[in-house]
Amino acid sequence: MGRLTTHVLDTTSGRPASGVRIELFDLSQEREPLVDTVTNHDGRCDAPLMDQDVFRVGRYELVFHAGDYFRAQGIEIPDPAFLDEVMIRFGIAEPGSHYHVPLLLSPYGYSTYRGS
């Protein structure tokens, strides 16, 4: 069963990033909003961002609101923030697979990969 999941780890504190706003957009035609959610205490979303009912081949974008998260944590960041919104564009080619797109985040850098 195909699905899309994510989680966010705050590499500044070494802990899950709770309270990060995440938006998902479908880029297949025009930039269409699909999901607007917030990470839970474990840095994850309470449900898949997409599951078998709407999971399909296409191009997508995840937007992680990093600047807002770090400000809420009381971490001093410049204005404007070096990383305010982290945008990850990716493709889904295998609609029967699990796509997991984690984000390792700090105020000055991030990394991502296709997880399992």
Residue 52: what pLDDT? 86
- Looking at every residue in the chain, the average pLDDT score rounds to 96
Residues 18-31: what's their mean pLDDT?
Answer: 96
Residue 39: what pLDDT? 98
Residue 1 has pLDDT above 90, yes or no: no
Residue whose entry in the numeric block shows the structure tokens 């898949």 = 48
Residue 116 has pLDDT above 90, yes or no: no
Residue 53: what pLDDT? 84
Residue 85 has which token pair?
Answer: 């919104």
In the chain, the largest separation of any two C-alpha atoms, in whole Å, equals 43
Q: Give the separation between CA 68 and CA 115, rounded to whole angstroms.
A: 25
